[in-house]
Amino acid sequence: MKLITAIIKPFKLDDVKAALETFGVKGMTVSEASGFGRQKGHTEVYRGAEYKVDVVPKIRLEVLVEDEDAEEVIDVVVKAAQTGKIGDGKVWSTSVDTVVRVRTGETGAEAL
């Protein structure tokens, strides 16, 4: 199994969620995150004094999928989250050893 983690722009969450649901993903975890990539943050001005805010708000989205779906899910997320502008985010996958559904005790693919 794979854990797909995506860092995306907050306003793209609905699009990505809808695309993943259409693909057949049954669950996901969404959390608010903040960080920066190459674009760094933004500048704010208070009474003429500039403040650099180097971390910007992001959404962190996590989905557990079976190995064979991983590539395609990444593709779906990238397509849905893309604006073409700097700061669109990143998607990566990591291998997962065990998954257990807390309610029933099912493991592996059955637990997804």
Partner 1 sequence: MDKIDTGSTAWMIAATALVLLMTPGLAFFYGGMTRAKSVLNMMMMSFVSMITVTVLWVLFGHSLAFDAAGNETVNKFVGGLDAWGLQSLITTATSDEGGMPSLTFSAFQLTFAIITVALISGAIADRAKFGAWVVFGGLWATLVYFPVAHWVWGGGWLTELGIEDFAGGTVVHINAGAAALALALVLGKRKGWPKEPMRPHNLPYVLLGAALLWFGWFGFNAGSELAVDGTAALAFINTQIAAAVAAGAWLLVEKLRDGHATSLGAASGAVAGLVAITPACGFVDPWAAVLLGVLAGAACAYAVGLKYKFGYDDSLDVVGVHLVGGVIGAVALGFLARYPFLDGQEQGVLYGEHGWRQLGLQVLGPVVVGLYSFVVSYILGKVIDMTMGFRISEEDEVNGIDIAAHAESAYDLAPSHSGTASSISAPVSDIKKVEADA
| Chain residues in the site for partner 1 (CB under 8 A) | 44-53
| C-alpha–C-alpha distance, residues 10 and 58, integer Å | 5
- CA torsion, ordered 14, 59, 79, 77, to nearest 10 deg: -90
CB 41 to partner 1: min, Å: 11
Q: Are 61 and 6 in contact (CB under 8 A)?
A: yes
> At its nearest, how many Å lie between partner 1 and the CB of residue 55?
12
| Choice between 34 and 107, CB closer to partner 1 | 34
Compare residues 49 and 98 and give the one whose CB is closer to partner 1. 49
Nearer to partner 1, 38 or 47 (CB): 47
Q: Which two tokens stand for residue 98?
A: 């065990």
